[in-house]
Amino acid sequence: MDNYPRLFIKAGLIYALLGAALGVTMAIDPSLSVRLRFVHIHINLLGFMAMMIAGVAFHVLPRFSARKLPWPEGMKYQFILQNVGLLGMVALYAAGGWRGGIAHAVFVFFAILAGMAMAIMFYNLYFVLTAPEETPKPEKITGEMKVADVLDHFPQALALFLESGFKSLANPAARQTFAKVVSIEKACDKHGVSTTAFLEKLNSELFKEDSSAPIPTEGSGPGKEIKHGEMCQADTWVGSLIKAYPATKKVFESNYGEGCFSCPGQAFETVEQTASMHNIDPEKILAEINAEIDRDIKRP
Ligand code: HEM
Ligand code: HEM
């Protein structure tokens, strides 16, 4: 996780503790709420809630929309402005003087800082969501085109990508994320596939008179289901495996880390694809999974 999303979350958690402490203080002595109510509310809402939301959103939204934040350094300015603005406001409020003279002017200054932080957050999060512009259907596939653009216009090309070695594209989440930023040239480089030969194959298949290649869907892509009682194979879908044998989930968690099941695409990846994505020998994972299955089947 990048530095700033993490900082926002950590700061948010600290404000949660502070907010709770203030709440408990007011509960014990309600007369204190004249000064502490504003502090409690803003520490909880502008500190805890807003910072947690911003931190998680900065981490997640660019990945889901496959776009960069429009102003990544803005996270730093927002972090500083939001903390200084919030702490300044609550300190003045708690000190009892925010409605008169110079103290009011200083309060307004901190309020403006906090307001600016919110405006930066708005800018980054609103515009990271705006959909990419539609591109016209190309007449020829070239190396600079993004993988996802080709798949958008020619869904039948997925089969060609998969059989040429771009196995990770079987995963819908991969098609929604890195396929949008990687060009065909880069993808070929990374997978050791000849760009010229692959482009030739794509162009000759996609632009031939009768292009009737079947359109693969999540259910008909490479891979197969598994039922309770069967053993797992390299091309078994992870989603189906977990359904048939929930105990095998821990094999994935121990090898790939706990976060892997938060990925929306894992259900339609095969065991082999997940292993190759994580640079782990598929045979090792399969052996561990089948040992779990064996234990499950033999269990009285
Ligand atoms: C340990 C946790 C908490 C305690 C003990 C607590 C306690 C209190 C108390 C005693 C009040 C009344 C203050 C008054 O006399 O006016 C209050 C108000 C408030 N609290 Fe909390 N609180 C807690 C957590 C939270 C959290 C997590 C949030 C928001 C995320 C929150 C938001 C508010 C708001 C918005 C008000 C004002 C409600 C109104 O306008 O009537 N509180 N809290
Ligand atoms: C940009 C930053 C913000 C500034 C400058 C600001 C400023 C203020 C001010 C001056 C008041 C009136 C206080 C009084 O009359 O005693 C107030 C009240 C309040 N604000 Fe904010 N606020 C900000 C952000 C927020 C956010 C993000 C939330 C909630 C998500 C929030 C929730 C509230 C609530 C619930 C009250 C009513 C408090 C009460 O009933 O006593 N504020 N705010």
- The structural domains of the chain, with segments of one domain joined by +, span 3-128, 132-218, 238-298
Whether ligand 1 lies within 6 angstroms of the CB of 19 is answered as: yes
Residues in the chain, total: 300
**Contact call for residues 274 and 167 (beta carbons, < 8 A):** no
For a pocket test of ligand 1, which of 13, 32, 34, 37 has the largest count of ligand atoms closer than 8 A to its C-beta?
37
pLDDT tens per residue, the chain (300 residues)?
A: 469 999 999 999 999 999 999 999 999 999 999 999 999 999 999 999 999 999 999 998 887 776 788 999 999 999 999 999 999 999 999 988 777 789 999 999 999 999 999 999 999 999 988 856 546 678 889 999 989 888 888 888 888 898 888 888 888 888 888 888 899 999 999 888 999 999 998 898 888 754 444 444 444 456 788 888 889 988 888 888 888 898 898 888 888 776 666 655 566 678 887 877 676 788 888 989 998 898 888 876
Which CATH architecture describes the domain 132-218?
Orthogonal Bundle (1.10)
Whether ligand 2 lies within 6 angstroms of the CB of 231 is answered as: no
* Helix 74-94 vs helix 3-28: crossing angle, to nearest 10: 20
**Contact call for residues 66 and 176 (beta carbons, < 8 A):** yes
CA angle 279, 269, 171 (to 5 degrees): 95
**Contact call for residues 292 and 251 (beta carbons, < 8 A):** yes
Q: Which ligand neighbours the alpha carbon of 27 most closely?
A: 1
**Contact call for residues 248 and 241 (beta carbons, < 8 A):** yes
CA torsion angle 86 88 94 98 (round to 10): -110
